[in-house]
Amino acid sequence: MGTYEEKLSILSEMIAFARVDYSLKDSEYQFLLGVASNLGIDKATFKKLLKKKSPKVILKSQAERIVQFHRLLLLMNIDEEQHQKEINTLHNIGLAMGLPPSAIGQVLQVMHKYPNKVIPVDVLINIFKAHYN
């Protein structure tokens, strides 16, 4: 995993995405806190990120971008609600990361086939692999 600044940027982007619907539900907060812990970001720093965004750092590798897209997908579905604004925002984030539009669209369609809309990692990877070949 990348630098500390990249980790702060990843988490900051996720916090901003969680707030697309103008609220931060407890389930989203807990998920974000878990991601922070997984990234090695302490709770005090996490709370600071809730108040002030970290500078955006572009993820270098395609694999890192796919992992971040997956995190955002999980975050979108953690509250078991989907709003068109969230779906559109996630789609646009994926495009901004340079992910193939057709792969993004397929992921957003396929997720409905799985419990809680959680796409298994191997399925997600295979979707992106197919669009890169």
pLDDT in tens, 77-110: 998 778 899 999 999 999 999 999 999 999 999 9
Task: Answer yes or no: is pLDDT of 55 > 80.
Answer: yes
Q: Are 87 and 41 in contact (CB under 8 A)?
A: no
Q: What is the pLDDT of residue 1?
A: 58
SS3 content of the chain, % helix, strand, coil (to 5): 75, 0, 25
Sorted by where each starts, the structural domains of the chain and their CATH numbers stand as 4-132 (1.10.3680)
